[in-house]
Structure 1
Amino acid sequence: MDSESSSPRIGQLVRINRGREADQYAVIVDVVDESFVLLADGDKRKFDRPKRKNIHHVDLLDYISPEVENSILETGRVTNGKLRFAISKFVNEQLADWKKGDSLYGER
């Protein structure tokens, strides 16, 4: 795995694997530093109050929402509806396409 794909990016979907929100999906809305990101899902965790999360406590998925990424880079904000849409689109389309033996999270 190269360093570019292992570094978090704005608009990238993650699966939370530690804490109260374990096994839920969220979108990276900001990268604080090399160890922490800010996450929001548009539902329980809104864009205005993102969750600060250690990068080691999430699985970076190989999917970046272009709608979320473009909105944040152009205006500095994204609507909670776009966050919910990005997560539901990923869950409905991408997860349905992956077969049972395929790895969602890359190699560990």
Structure 2
Amino acid sequence: MLSKNLNVGQLVEASCGRDQGRLFFIVYIVDKNYVLIADGKSRKLDNPKKKKIKHLNIRNFVHKEVNELLNNGNNITDSFLRAELNKLK
């Protein structure tokens, strides 16, 4: 899967590793193979997880508010990410 199909703020599920089955938001697209993901709990915004795209199940949902906040460089908190993920579960 190419990074052109991905967006910051997109919902993903880890399919491999110790995070398997957990939901995250993409917070940064590194290149065509890697993204940085965070959930605000175990993976906070100040220390996001670098993950291969092939190890993620990409959900067809981009959270517009998370996308706008991250792209505009506005302050976004870990508690906001947690709250939004809890709404989606």
Per the TM alignment, residue 64 of structure 1 is displaced from its structure 2 partner at its CA by: 0.9
Per the TM alignment, residue 78 of structure 1 is displaced from its structure 2 partner at its CA by: 2.2
1:87 aligns with 2:85: yes
- Aligned partners of 1:46, 1:54: CA distance in 2, in Å? 18
Q: Report the count of equivalent residues.
A: 88
* Structure 2 gap segments, 5+ residues each: none
Match in the other structure for 1:26: 24
Instruction: Name the % identity.
Output: 33
- Aligned partners of 2:67, 2:39: CA distance in 1, in Å? 14
Match of 2:71 among 73, 97, 104: 73
Matches within 5 A, 1:26-105: 26-75=24-73, 77-91=75-89
Per the TM alignment, residue 77 of structure 1 is displaced from its structure 2 partner at its CA by: 4.6
Does structure 2 retain, via aligned residues, the 8 Å contact 1:17–1:57? yes
Q: Would you identify which runs of 4 or more consecutive aligned residues in structure 1 move more than 3 Å?
A: none
Higher helix fraction (1 or 2): 1
User: 3-state DSSP class of the match of 1:87?
Assistant: helix
Q: Which has the higher contact order (CA 8 A, sep 6+)?
A: 2
- Aligned partners of 2:83, 2:41: CA distance in 1, in Å? 11
Higher strand fraction (1 or 2): 2
* Structure 1 gap segments, 5+ residues each: 92-108
Per the TM alignment, residue 76 of structure 1 is displaced from its structure 2 partner at its CA by: 5.3
